């Protein structure tokens, strides 16, 4: 399989939950007190049967008004219309905004031909309007026109694609394994968002179940090392695609 990171760059987020572009070369983090800094990397995978987008980013546009995501897919040698599957770890805004694109004041699907794979419980909770981490206008656009496959729990989506209800970062968060030939790729979404999170153990407040998320990181990290998985880190600063090594109680990550 071929794997591409579709990096959308770096952002700061403050209590308003707005994502403001942050250029480490010219912007100063000290000018944005109380902000979290994040990096956003959706992924594109070409397998023998499918062209797959894994989480959809913030939906940032380039100067021509085209989605960066679409531009990156073209640069990788494909057309956005060739995407057959969009698999979603969860539906928080920074993972789902790129599922739609605003054209002439209207939201349209970014991947109208693709099947969108969403965990049922995540969808139900997002649609309930109980959390501002989800944007209903995005979800309604999906509901009105997208091909969606709602999955429940854990299982096999199709040969070579497994999903597991992980439930750490959000109650119905899911992770995926994609297998093609002798390669096995792991997409942990926000259960394993950046390599640094393997290097120290901590329970995070932004997780639905901080303790469980912490334990999952450890478990996935150890299995990734033992079985040689290629890991995709959605919020990685630098190493978005990597292999994990675990030796003498310590993780190290090498770029793949």
Q: Where do contacts with Zn ion occur on this chain (CB under 5 A)?
A: 92, 190
Q: Which is nearer to Zn ion, 40 or 146 (CB)?
A: 40
**Taking Cα atoms as reference points, which of 176, 32, 189 lies closest to residue 96?**
189
Q: Which is nearer to Zn ion, 80 or 193 (CB)?
A: 193
Q: Which is nearer to Zn ion, 180 or 190 (CB)?
A: 190
Q: From the CB of 185, what's the least distance to Zn ion, in Å?
A: 20
Q: From the CB of 190, what's the least distance to Zn ion, in Å?
A: 4
Q: Which is nearer to Zn ion, 47 or 235 (CB)?
A: 235
Q: From the CB of 132, what's the least distance to Zn ion, in Å?
A: 12
Q: From the CB of 174, what's the least distance to Zn ion, in Å?
A: 12
Q: Which is nearer to Zn ion, 72 or 235 (CB)?
A: 235
Q: From the CB of 133, what's the least distance to Zn ion, in Å?
A: 7
Q: From the CB of 124, what's the least distance to Zn ion, in Å?
A: 17
Find the residue with minimal CB distance to Zn ion.
92
Q: Which is nearer to Zn ion, 80 or 169 (CB)?
A: 169
């Amino acid at each position: 399989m071929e794997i591409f990171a579709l990096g959308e760059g770096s952002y700061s987020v403050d209590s308003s939950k707005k994502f403001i572009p942050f250029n480490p070369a010219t912007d100063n983090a000290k000018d944005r007190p109380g902000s979290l800094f994040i990096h956003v990397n959706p992924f594109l995978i070409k397998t023998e049967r499918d062209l797959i987008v894994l989480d959809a980013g913030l939906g940032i546009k380039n100067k021509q008004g085209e989605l960066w995501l679409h531009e990156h897919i073209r640069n990788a040698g494909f057309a956005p219309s060739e995407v057959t599957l969009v698999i979603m770890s969860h539906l928080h805004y920074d993972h789902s905004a790129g599922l739609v694109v605003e054209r002439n004041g209207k939201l349209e699907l970014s991947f109208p031909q693709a099947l969108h794979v969403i965990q049922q419980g995540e969808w139900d909770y997002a649609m309930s309007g109980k959390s501002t981490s989800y944007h209903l206008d995005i979800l309604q656009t999906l509901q009105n026109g997208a091909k969606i496959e709602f999955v429940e729990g854990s299982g096999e989506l199709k040969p070579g694609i497994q999903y597991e209800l992980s439930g750490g970062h959000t109650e119905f968060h899911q992770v995926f394994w994609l297998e093609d030939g002798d390669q096995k790729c792991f997409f942990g979404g926000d259960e394993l968002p950046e390599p640094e999170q393997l290097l120290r153990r901590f329970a995070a407040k932004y997780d639905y179940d901080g303790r469980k998320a912490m334990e999952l990181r450890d478990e996935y990290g150890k299995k990734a090392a033992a079985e040689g998985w290629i890991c995709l880190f959605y919020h990685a600063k630098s190493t978005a695609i990597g292999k994990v090594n675990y030796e003498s109680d310590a993780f190290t990550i090498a770029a793949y």
